[in-house]
Amino acid sequence: MANFAGYRRPYPGTQPAHLHPAYVSSIKRAPAKPLVPMPQTLTEVTGPVFGKEAVDTKACDLTRQSSGEPLGERIIVSGRVLDENSRPVPHTLVEIWQANAAGRYMHKRDQHDAPLDPNFPGSGHALTDDEGRYRFVTILPGAYPWGNHYNAWRPCHIHFSLFGPAFATRLVTQMYFPGDPLIPFDPIFNCTADEKARNRLISSFDWENTIPSQALGYRFDIILSGRDATPMEK
């Protein structure tokens, strides 16, 4: 088979452990046995490819998914998708979902006593451009209570799902907002040992993309696993 360079393994401490008891749902769901290390093969360095046909170009604006306008504070969330070698990841699918301004998800299992917003289904997607850039128009999601521990509240966040170029680069994460007082108390945010790695999940306020009289901007760059310099097979 052709020689290929695999994708890098994460830097120690920068990814969560599977078991993080403070996040109660992990206790019965995290594997108890150690993972079996394996080399990446052709299976892992390839992965699904989504082209323009898989994308609705209007889906990057979550405030225009209905006939009316959603309630809440309009925001622009944009950034770049790069790999660990600082190269842009072009034409890759980014999927997002989030709660509405009141902190309620449009989902049958979300029983939080806060209003649903018929004009805010809460999902969007986009392909990155040639330079790895993406941009969503949405509303600031609300914080919401959950049952993890006494008086537990999730900080405001947006879920992100990315594929990148390979099975090995798949990433699901959450983006947080700067200055949110709930962040230090959130066991999901805190599941990663490395403080700098955690803090990179917090977007930054973005004047450049703030639209006068219209919407505040937040910037969130996403880094996917990058190619190792050395080919794995000689």
List, by residue number, the catalytic residues: 105, 144, 154, 157, 159
Sequence-distant (6+) residues with CB within 8 A of 57 are none
Q: Shortest approach of another protein to residue 70 CB, angstroms? A: 14
| 222, 95 contact by CB (below 8 A) | no
State both tokens at 80. Answer: 């770049």
Q: Select from 60, 89, 105, 128 the one that contacts another protein (CB under 8 A).
A: 105
Instruction: Report phi then psi at 160, rounded to 5.
Output: -125, 140
**Size, binding site for another protein by CB under 8 A:** 88
> Applying CB under 8 A, does 224 fall inside the site for another protein?
yes
Q: Say how many residues make up the chain.
A: 234
> Applying CB under 8 A, does 191 fall inside the site for another protein?
yes
Q: Select from 10, 118, 145, 231 the one that contacts another protein (CB under 8 A).
A: 10
State both tokens at 38. Answer: 């394996």
The H or E element containing residue 196 is helix 195-199
| 164, 89 contact by CB (below 8 A) | yes
- Block residue for tokens 């393994």: 9
Q: Select from 167, 206, 209, 210 the one that contacts another protein (CB under 8 A).
A: 167
> Applying CB under 8 A, does 35 fall inside the site for another protein?
yes
Q: Select from 102, 128, 156, 198 the one that contacts another protein (CB under 8 A).
A: 198
> Applying CB under 8 A, does 43 fall inside the site for another protein?
yes
x/- mask, another protein, residues 106-145, rule CB under 8 A, reads xx-xx----------xxxxx--------------------
Q: Which is nearer to another protein, 149 or 211 (CB)?
A: 149
Q: Shortest approach of another protein to residue 6 CB, angstroms? A: 7
**Please, is 67 exposed, middle or buried when counting C-beta atoms within 10 Å of its C-beta (0-12, 13-18, 19+)?**
exposed
